[in-house]
Amino acid sequence: MSAPTPETATTPDSARASLEALRTEIAKAVVGQDPAVTGLVVALLCRGHVLLEGVPGVAKTLLVRALAATLELDTKRVQFTPDLMPSDITGSLVYDARTAEFSFQPGPVFTNLLLADEINRTPPKTQSSLLEAMEERQVTVDGTPRPLPEPFLVAATQNPVEYEGTYPLPEAQLDRFLLKLTVPLPSREDEINVLTRHANGFDPRNLKAAGVRPVAGPAELQAARDAVAKTSVSPEITGYVVDICRATRESPSLTLGVSPRGATALLSTARAWAWLTGRDYVTPDDVKALALPTLRHRVHLRPEAEMEGVTADSVITSILAHVPVPR
């Protein structure tokens, strides 16, 4: 395929407009989850992965499916269970009796948007099968590395209230998720809207019938990523991000603070948010806006603080209130 001419190439402004249109399209299927939609877009811009946390029935799966439909991305879903094996995700070598040779059968990870449903229901061995895919964007089977499609995003879901029979994600894997987004129960008005849609014939399994249409594609996404990479960051903002992350390491409520990888993630998400809001530079408000979803899963509470009702969000919010803001 020939390269686009200057007249037909996607501009940063048109890419931004296309990504903003995602909200309208996804809202045709999902009601009242704008922060989660924005978080997923930010993750795509930063080439990161997302952990979605919410009780069953708040449209986590539907949200990911609607995002894939609006971006014309290939998507696959894996239901994580206790008996799931790593090869069920990455793929395996299959013997072909006709040729007397082994051939590679790709697993569901070979997609653009992988929905890992209830990821904490499978043992650590299977959870770790995603580590290489998430970090290196490839999987190695029988010593042969196999690259994954581009773009590639893992959207994993977990239930925050039912822990029986679950395996908490190890810190090393949690740190690979760019964002942890909470998907709350809808407000009364939004819930009435959901029921009204279903009463009028809405079928969550048929997004085309709901009017969800593609509004962006790989070209718009790449143009947006290029523009985000050019968003300027002043030394004062860099220092502000570092001060926030260092403060988590000194908090008496935490046994584990944010690593340098987390600081890099916060800078990346702040840049993406700044660009999405129409600026080519990052402000302290951009950093504050993305601090909670970027950092909440990278800290570990002390048991005594947890017993007193302290949460990761409350600790980070307190740190944001006390770290000096650059002028």
Asked whether 220 and 228 are in contact (CB, 8 A), the reply is no
* Residue segments in the chain with a per-residue pLDDT below the cut of 70: 1-9, 161-165
Report the C-alpha gap between 208 and 204 in whole angstroms: 10
H-state helical runs in the chain: 12-26, 34-46, 60-71, 87-90, 124-127, 129-136, 171-174, 188-199, 218-229, 235-250, 260-276, 284-295, 303-307, 312-322
- Rounded to the nearest 10°, the torsion over CA 27, 52, 315, 288 is -40
**Tell me: the pLDDT tens digits for 88-144?**
999 888 887 788 788 888 999 999 999 999 888 888 888 888 888 898 999 988 888
At position 309, the amino acid (one-letter code) is G
Looking up tokens 């094996």, which residue turns up? 85
- Rounded to the nearest 10°, the torsion over CA 9, 11, 14, 17 is 140
Which segments within 90-216 are labelled E, that is strand?
Answer: 91-96, 101-106, 113-117, 138-141, 144-147, 153-158, 179-182
What's CA 88's distance to the chain center, in Å?
Answer: 22
Q: What is the pLDDT of residue 282?
A: 96
Q: What is the pLDDT of residue 5?
A: 44
Q: Residues 159-183, buried b or exposed e (16+ Cβ, 10 A)? A: eeeeeeebbebeeebebbbbbbbbb
Report the C-alpha gap between 4 and 113 in whole angstroms: 26
Asked whether 316 and 296 are in contact (CB, 8 A), the reply is yes
Q: What is the pLDDT of residue 232?
A: 95
Report the C-alpha gap between 105 and 77 in whole angstroms: 17
- Cα distances from 218 to residues 74, 147, 208, 222, in angstroms, run 11, 17, 20, 6
Q: What is the pLDDT of residue 4?
A: 46
Q: What is the pLDDT of residue 3?
A: 44
